Amino acid sequence: MKTRARLLSVVLAAVMVIGSAIPAFAAPAADEYHVELDQVGSFSKEGIDTYYNIFLEEVSDNENYVYDMNGKKIFTETVMSVSYNDYLGRGMYQFAKANATDVNNKALVDADGKVLLPFEAAFYTWPGEYDNVTQKRFILAFYGTEETDDTSDYLFYTTEDMFAMGEPGKDDTLYKGYAKIYDIQNNKFVDGLQFEHVNTYDRTISIVGNSILVKNEDETYTLYNAEGKKLLDLNSDVRTTDNVIIENSETNRGCRIYDENGTEIFKSGESIYPMSSSTGNYLLYSNYSGSSKYVVLDEKGNEILTSDKNVYEEDCDIFKVKGDGPYIFIDKNGKELGQTEGSTYSAGYGRFFLETGVNTYTLIGPSGTLAEEVTKESYFYTKDGSIICLNDGTGFLTYDENARYTVIGYLLFVSPGYGEAGAVYDLFNGKKLVDDGVYAIEELGERIVLVYHDGPDYTYKTVDVSVVEGK
């Protein structure tokens, strides 16, 4: 079997929660999470690859079959060789029909193997893909109508092996056409919104909650609902979070904040911006009246934190701040949890590794220091030769340089050596989740696949992974 799974760093991201195991409805225990697995599919067959997050049977370059998580063929037709770009993230895939001559030959498929759109578009992307990295409802479908040599009037271009927007090369083929917004939730295109020019890098289209924000030709913005109805016109100085729109005044420091329906939530005399990295979708402004202060707000305008140091990021109400000195990590009450002059790495759920020396780190969490003198290995961290447990910083598994380790999210797969069966562990608490017998652990979109090898066939068990509050 040709395994193409990518090893992921333990620079993790997920959610943190805690639940006491004693009486029902007991108060949550601080800082604890665990991973739960739910099997959602399984099949056995020889010669199947998990190839860039899908099940693929490769017969030749232009003869490949795609299977869902239960081993059923998604298409009766064969598809072209699949590339990394064909996994769109968030559980979505695109596939090109083999031997097709039309540029519009891509189908859109979801994580369950359901064909949402047949072989009809040139390619698909997420709108505002750098601003809206979590929304899963709306996707852009691009259609080519004719080739063109006009570099000032085209929608996309093709190279030998990809579709792209932006600046083409001299040998690339340019296409006029249009893009439409497909509503995955309602299984239809959004009425009335069709675009002849789209740039997913300059926020031409952004998603706010369940609404669509469109940048007009005059640089102003208009908000539409999922039915294509206009909700609100805005000026050109607009920023968004996952759930709100910030319209900064073009003449002074003030701003107005709107929800996904275009309703004004609050207004401020300050210029407010989304925090660049925030699990709480927090907003930020600098108050220069008197002494300089950095103020963090929630999306309703409530003050969360005031700091005399610049606020860089937030994860589960742990804030990374910096003045003239080191990076300092504080909670929303201003309590210091740790600091460093060196590098910092997020472990998700309010946990950070802070560099303290050459390849040494301190692990902190919402309750403070969890472990000191931690060493970074390739894809994980160890303490005294044992892999770190993220809930409390203790070691839970002795590290063996001859063993094979794979980290995906908050799961750790360990086998004694390459090709030998192993087990799967929870990185939060160190518990074994799947007993010995797993040949490999691989990604399948946002799910994982446990691969077993028994005789000529491989068995692929598809599993949903969730991080849950509590022990």
Reported as a single tens digit per residue, the pLDDT across 368-426 is 999 999 999 877 899 999 999 999 999 999 999 899 999 999 999 999 988 789 999 99
Q: What is the mean pLDDT of residues 219-228?
A: 97
Q: In this predicted structure, what is the pLDDT of residue 131?
A: 74
* DSSP letters spanning 82-119: P-GGGEEETTEEEEEBTT--SS--EEEE-TTS-EEEEE
Cross-strand pairs, 42: 461
Output the pLDDT for position 311: 95
Given a contact cutoff of 8 angstroms between Cβ atoms, the answer to whether 410 and 12 are in contact is: yes
Q: What percent of the chain has pLDDT over 90?
A: 71
Residue 5 confidence class, pLDDT cut points 50, 70, 90: very low
- For residues 68 and 461, the answer to whether their CB atoms sit within 8 Å is no
Strand-pair partners of 177: 144
Q: How far is CA 172 from CA 147, 151, 161, 328, in A?
A: 11, 11, 10, 49
Please give the pLDDT value at position 18: 26
**Residues above pLDDT 70, as percent of the chain:** 92
pLDDT tens-digit series, residues 323-354: 999 999 999 999 999 999 999 999 999 999 99
Query: What pLDDT does residue 19 have?
Result: 28
Can you say whether residue 359 is alpha, beta or left, with left for phi > 0 and alpha for psi between -120 and 50 degrees?
left
The pLDDT of residue 62 is 77
Contacts of 443 (CB under 8 A, 6+ apart): 5, 6, 8, 50, 53, 408, 449
Residues 6-15: pLDDT tens digits? Answer: 223 333 333 2
Q: How confident is the model at residue 58 (pLDDT cuts 50, 70, 90)?
A: confident
| Mean pLDDT for the stretch of residues 30-34 | 84
pLDDT at 290: 54
**Residue 358: CB atoms within 10 Å:** 7
* pLDDT at residue 4 tops 60: no
Instruction: Compute φ and ψ for 234, nearest 5 degrees.
Output: -130, 165
DSSP code for 81: P
The yes-or-no verdict on residue 255 having pLDDT over 90 is yes
Q: What is the pLDDT of residue 3?
A: 34
- Predicted TM-score (pTM) of the model is 0.86
- What per-residue confidence (pLDDT) applies to 51? 76
- DSSP bridge pairs for 211: 208
For 273-328, write each residue's pLDDT tens digit: 999 899 999 999 987 655 578 999 999 999 999 999 999 999 999 999 999 999 99
185 or 163: which carries more pLDDT confidence?
Answer: 185
Residue 47's pLDDT is 80
More confident residue, 280 or 21: 280
Summarised one tens digit per residue, pLDDT across range 62-90 is 789 999 999 999 999 899 888 888 899 99
pLDDT, residue 16, reads 27
DSSP letter, residue 277: S
